[in-house]
């Protein structure tokens, strides 16, 4: 029996890429998954696939920039399955441009989704985790926060801010109730580049994804590994990137 058989896991950004792969991986190992994203047509299809394969899944339209949506996602997990064991905060956006372009709307979007969205999840799930005596925050960060490069200053900044707040939360929670895990993917074949405004940079990143990017399944397996550890074991940080990534 897998250690994931009894887990109840909520996932944001679950309609594609790493989020969808994680939903399939965890459900396939016996976890019940509660999926949140804005694209409900994709969520509906994913939930249907999981259920058809014998898994347990629920879905909710979620915009992580709205705190109430995260509260509703957590409430759905509790009402349907009785508790929430893990919150995987995976929703994220990337806008790349030199700072001199002053893309303030892009800055605001990344701060709202990548940072504030994670905080909204923590605000919704932390009281539940404390009340039930256990809980695990798993958050998708990025190798962009490890190797700082031009045009990614604000994106990397939001990711490193999340890394900082998760480490502080970890240090505040050494009573054994909470676990925190930061997952830092490198080039992964996802739709992340599809919404970048700079067409040249979008094409460069797409080519890198296609040339040597790894499958979202690889990241999903890493997330499963972190979750399935015994309760007294915490995987704090994991970096998953292509062997060819510089």
Beta-carbon contacts of residue 13 (< 8 Å; ≥ 6 apart): 19, 36, 37, 64, 89, 90, 91, 92, 140
DSSP state of 215: P
Check residues 29 and 191 and name the one with the higher pLDDT. 29
**Residues labelled as active-site residues:** 155
Quick one: pLDDT band at residue 244, thresholds 50, 70, 90? confident
Q: What is the 3-state secondary structure (H, E, C) of 61-90?
A: ECCCCCHHHHHHHHHHHHHHHCCCCEEEEC
pLDDT of residue 193: 58
pLDDT tens-place string over residues 126-143: 999 999 999 999 999 999
- For the CA atoms of 116, 122, 125, 126, what is the dihedral angle to 10 degrees? -150
Mean model confidence pLDDT for the chain: 92
pLDDT tens-place string over residues 38-70: 999 999 999 999 999 999 999 999 999 999 999
- pLDDT exceeds cutoff 70 at 195: no
| Burial class (CB within 10 angstroms; exposed 0-12, middle 13-18, buried 19+) of 5 | exposed
Average pLDDT (158-181) is: 96
- pLDDT exceeds cutoff 80 at 191: no
Angle at 194 between CA 25 and CA 238, to 5 degrees: 40
Quick one: pLDDT band at residue 192, thresholds 50, 70, 90? low
Q: Is the pTM of this model over 0.85?
A: yes
- For the CA atoms of 24, 67, 198, 189, what is the dihedral angle to 10 degrees? -10
* Domain positions in the chain: 8-240
pLDDT tens-place string over residues 84-123: 999 999 999 998 889 999 999 999 999 999 999 999 999 9
Task: Determine the Cα–Cα distance for residues 96 and 210; give it in Å rounded to an integer.
Answer: 19
- pLDDT exceeds cutoff 80 at 211: no
Domain 8-240 has CATH 3.40.50.10490: no
Contacts for 110-116 with beta carbons within 8 Å, 24 or more apart? 110/154, 110/155, 110/158, 111/154, 111/158, 112/65, 113/64, 113/65, 114/155, 114/158, 114/159, 114/162, 115/158, 115/161, 115/162, 116/64, 116/65
């Amino acid at each position: 029996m897998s250690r994931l058989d009894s887990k109840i896991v909520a996932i944001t950004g679950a309609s594609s890429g790493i989020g969808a792969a994680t939903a399939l991986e965890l459900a396939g190992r016996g976890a019940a998954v509660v999926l949140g994203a804005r694209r409900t047509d994709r969520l509906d299809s994913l939930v249907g696939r999981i259920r058809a394969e014998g898994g347990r899944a629920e879905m909710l339209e979620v915009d992580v920039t709205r705190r109430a949506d995260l509260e509703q996602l957590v409430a759905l997990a509790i009402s349907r399955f009785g508790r929430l064991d893990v919150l995987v905060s995976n929703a994220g956006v990337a806008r790349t441009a030199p700072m001199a372009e002053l893309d303030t709307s892009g800055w605001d979007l990344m701060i709202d989704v990548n940072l504030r969205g994670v905080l909204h999840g923590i605000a919704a799930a932390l009281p539940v985790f404390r009340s039930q005596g256990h809980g695990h925050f798993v958050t998708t960060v990025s190798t962009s926060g490890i190797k700082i490069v031009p045009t990614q200053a604000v994106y990397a900044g939001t990711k490193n801010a999340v890394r900082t707040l998760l480490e502080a939360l970890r240090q505040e929670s050494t009573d054994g109730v909470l676990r925190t895990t930061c997952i830092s993917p490198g080039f992964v074949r996802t739709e992340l580049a599809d919404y970048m405004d700079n067409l040249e940079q979008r094409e460069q990143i797409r080519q890198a994804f296609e040339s040597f990017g790894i499958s979202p399944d690889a990241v999903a397996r890493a997330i499963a590994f972190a979750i399935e550890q015994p309760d007294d074991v915490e995987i704090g940080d994991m970096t998953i990137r292509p062997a060819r990534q510089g």
